[in-house]
Amino acid sequence: MNCRQCVLEELPCLEEKIMTITKKADVNEIIFSIEGRLDSITSLEFQDTLISAFNECEHVSLDFKDVSFISSAGLRVLLMAQKTAHGRKGSLTLLNVSEQIMKLLDMTGLSAHLSIRQTES
């Protein structure tokens, strides 16, 4: 729940957990559901999570359905993860990217280098 001041000023509340990562793994793929903001505060945790995932499995998917914001630090982590996947002959796939985040990926040119698809779940 947002604190009263953040609600009044219509700001993201920093008293809340800014990002949540949920992992689901099977034999061939690890899928992370990401919720919240991917920014300079959360990008290091996100990077560590992806590095660990690529040490376990070649194929990683990121469900971005509940990602509300990505900063340049978050974009850097996505680029690093894509390079890691390519170097290991694996894959990185973004799932369920919102229109707002997709516009950012298009503007930065990253959408041309990332595998992005929508799913029904």
Kindly report the CATH number assigned to the domain that includes residue 87: 3.30.750.24
User: Residue 37 domain-assigned?
Assistant: yes
Per-residue model confidence as pLDDT tens for the chain (121 residues): 455 445 445 555 554 558 999 999 988 999 999 999 999 999 999 999 999 999 999 999 999 999 999 999 999 999 999 999 999 999 999 999 999 999 999 999 999 999 999 986 5
Q: What is the pLDDT of residue 103?
A: 96
Tell me, yes or no, whether 90 lies in a domain: yes
What pTM was estimated for this model as a whole? Answer: 0.83
Q: In the Cβ-directed half-sphere of 35, how many Cα atoms lie within 13 Å? A: 7
Give the pLDDT of residue 9.
Answer: 52
Q: Does residue 3 lie in a domain region?
A: no
Domain count, the chain: 1
Residue 57 lies in a domain: yes
Give domain status of residue 9, yes or no: no
Q: For residue 73, is it within any domain? A: yes
2 part of a folded domain: no
- Per-residue confidence (pLDDT) for residue 121, from 0 to 100: 54
Is 39 within the bounds of a domain?
yes
Q: Which domain holds residue 61?
A: 17-117
